[in-house]
Structure 1
Amino acid sequence: MAPRPWQAAVADGALVTVFAAIGRASHDETNPVLAAVLTAWPFLVGAGVGWALVRRRSGAWPLTLGHGIPVWACAVVVGMLLRAVTGQGTAFSFMVVTTIVLGAFLLGWRALAARVRR
């Protein structure tokens, strides 16, 4: 059974936030929750742009692996652009890690869900 759109949106949002929290855990933060939110928001906006793009272009919700690719791409690209314009870091190593981890997270659950549906 495919997830409902709201379940998929919650999963994407939670996984982007987990990505940010894991990344921030390696830093000595006075407020780790706020730091994770500040790190996550550009990528959450980017994922939202990806959701809107898929919905507008295909009429479908991005529940499948194929429709998850634009969500992932937008999360990374829009997220990095927002980080750049707001003065947050966009080091090459951070971009590589972000691309890999968000790919694993945002595409991974969709691949698992497709496998379970078979």
Structure 2
Amino acid sequence: MSGTTRLKVRTGKVVATVCTAAACVGLGLVGAPSASAAPVQDTGVGVKGTAPDCITRAVFKKQHEAYIGNDCHKTMKVKVIVNNGFDSSCTKLNQGQQMYHWWPTGSYARTVTC
């Protein structure tokens, strides 16, 4: 869905404050701070498919938020899909970068490449 969304890039240090250290390490969300990820213009290419396992996900359904990290060995473009809510922008993440997406209504569906 289109609309206003809150999209913030978070470093591993900020994400670590949300989950326990052991859980964040298991998700690959703890590490050295990285440069900011930049939202990518939607060029109409659209969704390519479910993001691979090297894209980490920490989803907090009650809080309507998701932390997505790139543990792949290359730059990836990802998007959070929300059922009956606002999807994230297609966001370019370099290796080691994370993004944050919050939505006011709906439920997390999946994370996809774009």
TM-score in terms of structure 2 length: 0.29
TM-score in terms of structure 1 length: 0.28
Higher relative contact order (CA 8 A, sep 6+): 2
Structure number having the greater strand percentage: 2
Of the two, which has the highest radius of gyration?
Answer: 1
